């Protein structure tokens, strides 16, 4: 599976560390590499055709992104998704994305509005077709669009890693499949407020913040159910 991801992205040996990191990020986000799985250096050297140096550079980058845990004398492991991670990261993300939404509203352009509505339309198509992965990829792009439209480089940089983790959470559990319709409804409302010059900016911020906080509560509840199911099956 990892070899397919390497071929899909198009690995070039002239840009080693960054490309190894990019491919491993994609593999983790798409759940090709699972939580708790060890990233075995010898296997990866063979898959990528590289030495240890770019691999270790990539591992350090993934650790900074919160996707990998490096344990001394044991190696690098894909970070597992836990309720503790969610409870710590989502409130921060909720507050920061709310600020970004407010700033994006202030700076909204016709081009950004067109992009938001096109992405929302793709989300609706994925919803109708039951395409879970496609839906969440478009969802990621929707949020990315208004965050970038904020023009706030500090916010954008901080949110990159927080949102990488959130994107991965959606593919680690199936909880969002039960909340497609309500999630899509919220995004229609966010899009309408973002693109309405007369909209209440504070109302927009609150809607974005509550949306992300609600997502965290749903996810934590789902982790609890999954843990209970595992105990029953043990």
**Tens digit of each residue's pLDDT, the chain (234 residues):** 676 766 666 656 556 778 899 899 888 887 788 889 999 999 999 988 888 898 999 999 999 888 899 999 999 999 888 888 888 889 999 999 999 999 999 999 999 999 999 999 999 999 999 888 888 889 989 999 999 999 999 999 999 888 887 666 665 545 455 677 889 999 999 999 999 999 999 999 999 999 999 988 888 887 766 554 444 444
What are the residues whose beta carbons fall under 8 Å from the beta carbon of 179, sequence distance 6 or more?
Answer: 218
Residue 226 is classified by DSSP as H
Question: Residues 71, 97: one domain?
Answer: no
Number of independent structural domains in the chain = 2
Q: Which domain holds residue 198?
A: 83-233
Cα–Cα nearest to 79, from 175, 176, 179, 161:
161
In whole angstroms, give the CA distance from residue 175 to residue 112: 30
Pair (110, 38) in one structural domain? no
Q: Which residue from 95, 101, 201 is spatially nearest to 147, judged by alpha carbons?
A: 101
Q: What is the pTM of this model?
A: 0.79
Chain centre distance of CA 22? 14
Number of alpha helices (DSSP H) and beta strands (DSSP E) in the chain: 10, 3
Q: How far is CA 191 from the centre of its chain?
A: 19
Domain boundary among 78, 111, 142: 78
């Amino acid at each position: 599976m990892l070899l397919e991801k390497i071929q899909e992205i198009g690995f070039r040996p002239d840009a080693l560390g960054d490309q190894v990191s990019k491919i491993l990020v994609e593999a983790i986000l798409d759940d090709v590499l699972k939580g708790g799985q060890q990233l075995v250096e010898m296997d990866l050297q063979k898959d990528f055709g590289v030495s240890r140096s770019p691999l270790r550079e990539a591992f350090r980058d993934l650790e900074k992104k919160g996707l990998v845990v490096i344990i001394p004398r044991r190696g690098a492991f894909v970070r597992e998704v836990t309720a503790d991670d969610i409870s710590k990261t989502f409130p921060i993300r909720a507050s920061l994305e709310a600020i970004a939404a407010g700033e994006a509203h202030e700076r909204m352009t016709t081009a950004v509005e067109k992009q938001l509505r096109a992405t929302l339309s793709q989300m609706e198509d994925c919803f109708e077709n039951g395409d879970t992965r496609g839906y969440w990829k478009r969802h990621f792009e929707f949020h990315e669009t208004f965050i970038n439209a904020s023009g706030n480089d500090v916010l954008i940089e901080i949110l990159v890693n927080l949102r990488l983790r959130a994107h991965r959470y959606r593919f680690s559990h199936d909880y969002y499949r039960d909340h497609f319709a309500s999630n899509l409804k919220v995004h229609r409302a966010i899009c309408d407020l973002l693109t309405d010059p007369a909209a209440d900016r504070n109302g927009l911020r609150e809607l974005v913040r509550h949306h992300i906080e609600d997502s965290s509560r749903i996810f934590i509840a789902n982790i609890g159910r999954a843990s209970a199911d595992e105990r029953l099956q043990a």
